[in-house]
Amino acid sequence: MIESRSPQRPDDVVVTAPDMGRDEVAAAVRTARQAALAWTNVPAPARARALEGVAGAIEAAAAELSDLMVREVGKPLDEARAEMVRTVAIWRYYAQQGLDPDGATYPSADGRSLLMHRRRPHGVAGLITPWNFPAAIPSWKSAPALACGNAAVLKPAPEATAMALRLAGCAAPHLPEGLLQVVTGEAGTGQALVGLADVVSFTGSVAAGRAVARAATEQGVPVQAEMGGQNASIVLPDADLEQAAAVVAGAAMGYAGQKCTATSRAVVVGDPAPFTEALVAAVEALPVGDPAEPANVSGPVITAEARSVVLGAVQEARSRGGRVLAGGAPAEPGWTVLPTLVDGLDPGDRLAQEEVFGPLCVVLPAQDADGAVSIANGVRYGLVTSIFTSDLDRALELMGRVDTGMVKVNAPTSGVDFYAPFGGEKASSLGPREQGKAARHFYTWTQTITLAPSGRGDRPPSAGGTSPRG
């Protein structure tokens, strides 16, 4: 069995569930594949109505699900509520996307046949999701998979088991039996699912994502893997420093920095002192504590091990000559760590290179914009970069020089729009983009069709030059 515990109250066991083995996963996939055979032939408008029903059920349970999210993964209440609003919108968006054109026609070589392509579902989508967005990420994977005619088998992170089961419970009355399955367990459960699915979508760590991609590729299964980030916010001297500091503080420390899009590095061009001073003040002003209190924006990290990693990183920063400008200590409740700012490190230091996945941000000076871009690009990740400036020309120039999948100007690195492509470069992503119109291309394959005349009653085309209408 596995347990999911509340990070703010570690003695609170939210749910226990089986650690499923290969046989149990195989049974779930068989059930899903049987359901997919019928679902594929359900007309798209009917599939859209079913997904609309799922959206309505989740919306009706949003308050309960928000509270469960706070309890199970420690997400601050306001963020949990916002995630539920977004989750409902995701299901509604993909319900309508299922009515988009499913192919195109082309001129045929003989001028008489019909040459076209159509998009077909793969079958069973194996979806492996993390704990930090326990409603949105399972939804932005399963909703497009279902809209395109696939079945879905979801393997959530153990720490988000209760949320996954509750979401599936909301969906069940509106979908054919067995079409959306949840398999629970540790890494072995996910490995079994990768070996059995027809298409695989993963979000998690770099090491696990690469292992998933290798396993799926070896068996010829389409795969996408969204992994880590070590995201930079470049602050130019002409930026509104107070505003930039407030935005960076929220992007770095909101939800205890537990987002792949969180700001991990603040790269300050010119004299770093004025911005650093403003950033320290903004971070220290952030309300920290029980995530069930609406005012709090940062609370516990997900596990005791995660807290040890963050506190160990703080000790490493000190040993490398870094200065802890704010935070750096454990707090209450549960596994909370105070939002932490560090400076005095080299851009090549491990803490400036590798994702900690906690409330820790490194401030790095740069002599000029060229140096800032070099620092921002000088990591193995390539997810998102923010640029803070009041100069539009400079913003446009720098946007074209950063090597991340997403670029934002005067906006936080954190936060994505579910109707736009999402993904990174380098070690941050493998395979096609997620979300938006890109999702249909991933969850379907292309079948090219030639439909030629039967030959009965065939006659050569007229040579009289009449119009096609004639």
User: Catalytic site residues?
Assistant: 226, 260
Contact 166, 84 (CB under 8 A): no
Pairwise CA distance, residues 193 & 180, whole Å: 14
- Assigned token pair, 75: 């997400």
Tell me how many degrees the CA angle 234-236-237 measures, rounded to the nearest 5: 150
Q: Helix, strand, coil: what percent of the chain each, to 5?
A: 40, 20, 35
> CA nearest 270: which of 237, 234, 245?
237
- Assigned token pair, 378: 């000088």
Q: What amino acid is encoded at 87 in this protein?
A: T
Contacts of 457 (CB under 8 A, 6+ apart): none
Q: What amino acid is encoded at 204 in this protein?
A: G
**Cis before 333 (ω within 30):** yes
Tell me how many degrees the CA angle 101-105-110 measures, rounded to the nearest 5: 170
SS3 assignment, position 23: helix
- Assigned token pair, 462: 């007229």
Pairwise CA distance, residues 456 & 111, whole Å: 17
Contacts of 178 (CB under 8 A, 6+ apart): 31, 32, 34, 35, 151
Q: DSSP state, 92?
A: H
Q: Is 412 exposed, middle or buried (0-12, 13-18, 19+ CB in 10 A)?
A: buried
Pairwise CA distance, residues 107 & 113, whole Å: 9
Pairwise CA distance, residues 218 & 4, whole Å: 32
